[in-house]
């Protein structure tokens, strides 16, 4: 079969940062399993660059049998546009193929998928996509069977991504050399942080590629693609400490040791393992710290203490690992004193970088369902995202959400800027009514101009 896999274009404006353009590795796994089974694959990354392939003769020219679309909640309006474009071609009799949709959005809001879609895959796609393409799928909704032994999967189609035009982002701030490739080596997360939608998408069972396999893939990426660094772009790279230890052991014996960074929690992350990670080439950690208030950490079910945060950041400083720390303000039940504790902890610890994010209810998270059931929100947008009454007041992100330019202040904010920005945002936010009323009372363009002008002034 001829299969086109494609991602959905990013919205023009979003409260989420949509300018990081890295490999869509999940789609990469699907491309690889399809190729391994003998199908011909095509790939168009609309998230990277919008290509309105349904408006020309691409599907007919390539005799595409299936179009498979990666859908995320944030880009879902773009997904709908692709579906309607492909369905339009079918209705006009020009194309006869089938449409399938997968990705995180199908797991959290299946009802939103429009009727012209022939197959909707919830969860993992590797088994499901073969069942669909090889005519074994019996129902429209296919519950993707989990891949229990991830080592049995081929690596994602890095060849397609590495040679892609336009190119993907392949640098990270902390390494002088590039290319830096992303890897995704685990699925699921055993924790239940209430703001996080990962359990809604992946479940709590943690599955992973073995340390040996991760190491082998890195050697291959170094050899075939000249890769200089690896960014483990996944929810919880260190959830299995024995695997981290085995992986580091392999790297320690390697004369061509790769530099790497990963995303993780502060607990469990003992100093001993951090020492080993630093020796094995770990340069940077992206840490979900979330709050400096123990009351909030408990409320969001983070299962860490403020001292855990303190320890890890201080140890990393000693060991030469830079910390990008991520914080959330405005979670349900948070008070002014909790936020003050967060800002003062950031002030005390002075991490390399602090990204401060204003809470938005994401489908699939525990808070989302609580907010919906208790009507604890002032605004629900067209994607179903929930905004609490605090959102506007705390809207550090408001300028990014509304501004026309690319400036997104809460993303990887260098420490020297954060304090000024927070003070400013709190002051500025109070001048405006909550989000719901902004949308009703002001024209968007007025707010856009106000926000972007004032921020530009602040930074100049």
Total number of residues that touch ligand SF4 (CB under 6 A): 11
Among 64, 69, 83, 196, binds ligand SF4 (CB under 6 A): 196
Min dist CB 199 to ligand SF4, Å, is 6
Rule CB under 6 A: is residue 105 a binding residue for ligand B12?
A: yes
- Give the number of other Cβ atoms within 10 Å of residue 105's Cβ: 28
Total number of residues that touch ligand B12 (CB under 6 A): 44
At 272, is the secondary structure helix, strand, or coil? helix
29, interface contact from ligand B12, ligand SF4, none, CB < 5-8 Å by kind: ligand B12
Of 216, 273, 267, the C-alpha closest to 242 is: 273
Write each residue from 271 to 300 as x if it is in contact with ligand SF4 (CB under 6 A), else as -, in one continuous string: -----------------x------------
Among 193, 208, 349, 383, binds ligand SF4 (CB under 6 A): 193
- Give the number of other Cβ atoms within 10 Å of residue 252's Cβ: 12
Write each residue from 438 to 457 as x if it is in contact with ligand SF4 (CB under 6 A), else as -, in one continuous string: --------------------
Min dist CB 460 to ligand B12, Å, is 26
Q: Which two tokens stand for residue 11?
A: 């919205």
Rule CB under 6 A: is residue 409 a binding residue for ligand B12?
A: no
Residue 167, sorted as left (phi over 0), alpha (psi -120 to 50) or beta, turns out to be beta
Rule CB under 6 A: is residue 269 a binding residue for ligand SF4?
A: no
Residue 272, sorted as left (phi over 0), alpha (psi -120 to 50) or beta, turns out to be alpha
DSSP codes of every residue in 37-75: TT-EEEEEETTTS---GGGTTHHHHTT-SEEEEE--STT
Rule CB under 6 A: is residue 327 a binding residue for ligand SF4?
A: no
Contact (Cβ atoms closer than 8 angstroms) between residue 408 and residue 17: yes
DSSP codes of every residue in 333-378: T--HHHHHHHHHHHHHH--SEEEEEE--BPTTSHHHHHHHHTT--S
* Total residue length of the chain: 460
From the list 120-128, 244-252, 302-310, 418-426, the region that binds ligand B12 by CB under 6 A is 120-128
Among 5, 82, 157, 198, binds ligand SF4 (CB under 6 A): 198
Binding site for ligand B12 (CB under 6 A): 7, 16-18, 20-22, 24-27, 29-30, 47, 68-70, 72-75, 100-105, 108, 121, 124-126, 128-129, 184, 197-198, 201-202, 233-235, 363-364
Binding site for ligand SF4 (CB under 6 A): 189, 191-193, 196, 198-199, 235-236, 265, 288
């Amino acid at each position: 079969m001829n299969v086109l896999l494609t991602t959905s274009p990013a919205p023009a404006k979003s409260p989420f940062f949509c300018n990081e353009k890295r490999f869509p590795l999940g789609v990469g796994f699907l491309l690889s399993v399809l190729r391994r089974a003998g199908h011909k694959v095509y790939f168009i990354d609309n998230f990277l660059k919008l290509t309105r392939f349904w408006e020309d003769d691409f599907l007919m020219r390539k005799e595409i049998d299936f179009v498979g679309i990666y859908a995320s909640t944030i880009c879902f309006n773009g997904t709908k546009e692709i579906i309607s474009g492909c369905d339009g071609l079918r209705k006009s009799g020009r194309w006869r193929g089938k449409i399938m949709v997968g990705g995180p959005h199908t797991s959290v809001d299946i009802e939103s998928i429009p009727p012209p879609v022939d197959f909707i895959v919830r969860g993992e796609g590797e088994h499901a996509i073969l069942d669909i393409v090889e005519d074994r799928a019996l129902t429209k909704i296919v519950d993707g069977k989990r891949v229990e032994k991830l080592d049995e999967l081929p690596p994602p189609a890095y060849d397609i991504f590495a040679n892609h035009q336009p190119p993907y982002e392949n640098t990270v701030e902390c390494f002088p050399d590039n290319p830096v490739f992303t890897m995704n080596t685990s699925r699921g997360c055993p924790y239940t942080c209430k703001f996080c939608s990962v359990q809604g998408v992946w479940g709590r069972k943690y599955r992973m590629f073995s340390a040996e396999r991760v190491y082998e893939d890195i050697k291959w990426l170094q050899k075939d693609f000249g890769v200089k660094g690896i960014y483990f772009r996944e929810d919880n790279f260190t959830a299995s400490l024995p695997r981290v230890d085995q992986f580091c052991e392999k790297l320690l014996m390697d004369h061509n040791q790769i530099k790497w960074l990963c995303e993780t929690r502060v607990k469990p992350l003992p100093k001993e393992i951090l020492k080993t990670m630093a020796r094995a080439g770990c340069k940077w950690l992206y840490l979900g710290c979330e709050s400096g208030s123990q009351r909030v950490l408990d409320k969001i079910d983070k299962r860490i203490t403020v001292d855990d945060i303190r320890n890890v950041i201080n140890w990393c400083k000693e060991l030469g690992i830079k910390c990008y720390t991520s914080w959330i303000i405005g979670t349900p039940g948070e008070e002014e004193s909790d936020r003050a504790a967060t800002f003062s902890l950031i002030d005390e610890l002075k991490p390399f970088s602090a990204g401060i994010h204003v809470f938005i209810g994401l489908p699939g998270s525990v808070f989302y369902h609580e907010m919906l059931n208790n009507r604890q929100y002032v605004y629900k947008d067209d994607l179903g995202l929930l905004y609490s009454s605090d959102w506007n007041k705390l809207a550090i992100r408001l300028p990014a959400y509304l501004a026309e330019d690319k400036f997104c202040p809460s993303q990887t904010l260098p420490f020297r800027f954060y304090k000024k920005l927070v003070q400013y945002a709190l002051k500025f936010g109070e001048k405006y009514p909550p989000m719901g009323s902004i949308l009703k009372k002001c024209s968007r363009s007025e707010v856009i101009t106000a926000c972007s002008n004032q921020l530009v002034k602040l930074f100049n």
